Amino acid sequence: MSNPYEARRPYYRAELAKGVERFLEPRRDTCPWCGSSELSIRLQTTDLIQRKPGRFTLEQCGVCQHIFQNPRLTPAGLDFYYRDFYEGLGQNLVEQAFDASDRAYQGRVDMVKRFTTPSAWLDVGTGYGHFCRFARRAWPGARFDGLDLGFSVEEAQRRGWIDRSYRGEFVTFTDELANRYDVVSMHHYLEHTREPFDELDAAAKILPSGGHLLIELPDPQSLFGHLFGRWWLPWFQPQHLHMIPIGNLTQALTDRGFSTVAIERGAAHQGAELFFALALALIAIAPNPQLPWLTDPPTRVKQLRRTLVWAAGRPLLAIAYLLDTLLSHIVRRTHGGNTYRLLACKNG
């Protein structure tokens, strides 16, 4: 069997030889949310997860507090940095994360249950359909369809976790999908999109009056974002292009004919701040030397170093996980969590 790292090396070598600066658009000097030019740098960082080359900046608007990647990745840049994350080399790892998300899935189900009984649900940004597989148990008679950009959505249909897959950009499906769903969900989706307003417009367009829109996002106002700085996982550079304060989102929904009917902040907290910060640090100290986008060749010394660093780090990760669990019990009683969840109803 061919080595998956070696098989990918020529592609990455060729791309990197052309430089990564071309993956960034020119920097914009106004806030994409409100248009203000009162911008300041919130965070400068690198790709701490995959360790692909490049530098990324998040700027914050002084008027509406929106945080956004500036300069933003081009479509070619998005293609380069998403490659081998949700598919290929990264697929097993992200599926493990999705498999371990039952608590969040249950929270979403419980929130919707209080307001409606869905008959047809569209999950935008569904990935491999893990959430839909979970939610079906609550509403076995409902139809669950999924939409995503990658092959994962077709895989979700093949596995039977969704009924039907739509592969492509949500905004291009609005005519086809109009009035076919009574619930649309976007879980950790909007922050990845280039134009979140267009995505909300599309949701408003396809939902009928009385239809519900469920949104879950990392909370940029979380205290943890300040405490952990660039080691806070939800900054998730370079994938997160927009970090949206909850007040901005509810206003954008009101502008589009929605009423927000439920909000959860602390209760939606996903925990594991310490665990992930430590994991990112271990990756920084000793990344997998085989990764095909690393410019230095893999050596035995680097492999040994990785083995030793992770052997030493594993017990620390276990301790961090325990501390996170304790911390989460407290945080879930506050508004300071790392995630918020919101349900909105389309007005008549």
Residues within the interface to Zn ion (CB under 5 A)? 31, 33-34, 36, 61, 63-64, 66
DSSP three-state, residue 302 = helix
- Complete DSSP assignment for 325-342: HHHHHHHTTSS--SEEEE
How far is it, in rounded angstroms, from Cα 6 to Cα 3?
A: 5
As measured in angstroms, the least distance from the Cβ of 29 to Zn ion is: 12
Minimum distance from residue 248 beta carbon to Zn ion (Å)? 8
Which one, 229 or 247, has the nearer CB to Zn ion? 247
CB of 141 to Zn ion, least distance (A): 43
| Residue 145 beta carbon to Zn ion: minimum distance, rounded to whole angstroms | 34
Closer by beta carbon to Zn ion, 244 or else 345: 244
Which is closer to Zn ion, CB of 66 or CB of 133? 66
In the complex, what is the shortest distance from the CB of residue 202 to Zn ion, in angstroms, rounded to a whole number?
Answer: 22
Angle at 215 between CA 214 and CA 218, to 5 degrees: 155
| Positive or negative: CA dihedral 244, 250, 256, 261 | positive
Residue 283: phi and psi, rounded to 5, are: -65, -40
Closer residue to Zn ion (CB): 40 or 92:
40
Furthest C-alpha separation in the chain: 65
Which C-beta is closer to Zn ion: that of 31 or that of 331? 31
> What is the C-alpha to C-alpha distance for residues 139 and 110, in angstroms, rounded to an integer?
12
66 vs 269 by CB, closer to Zn ion? 66
Q: How far is the CB of 32 from Zn ion (least distance, A)?
A: 8
Helix axes 273-285, 300-331, angle to 10 degrees: 170
Phi, psi of 334 (to 5 degrees): -120, -170
Residue 33 or 86 with smaller CB distance to Zn ion: 33
68 or 276, CB closer to Zn ion?
Answer: 68
Least distance to Zn ion, CB of residue 220, Å: 12
Residue 73 DSSP symbol? B
* Contact present, 64 and 34 (Cβ < 8 Å): yes
Closest to Zn ion by CB, 33 or 128 = 33
Cis omega (within 30 of 0) for bond into 71 = yes
User: Minimum distance from CB of 280 to Zn ion (Å)?
Assistant: 28
- Which ranges constitute the DSSP H helices of the chain? 4-17, 75-82, 91-99, 102-113, 130-135, 152-159, 174-177, 196-206, 223-228, 246-255, 273-285, 300-331
Handedness of CA 279, 283, 284, 286 (dihedral sign): positive
* In the complex, least distance from residue 74 CB atom to Zn ion, rounded to whole angstroms: 22
Q: Is 19 exposed, middle or buried (0-12, 13-18, 19+ CB in 10 A)?
A: exposed
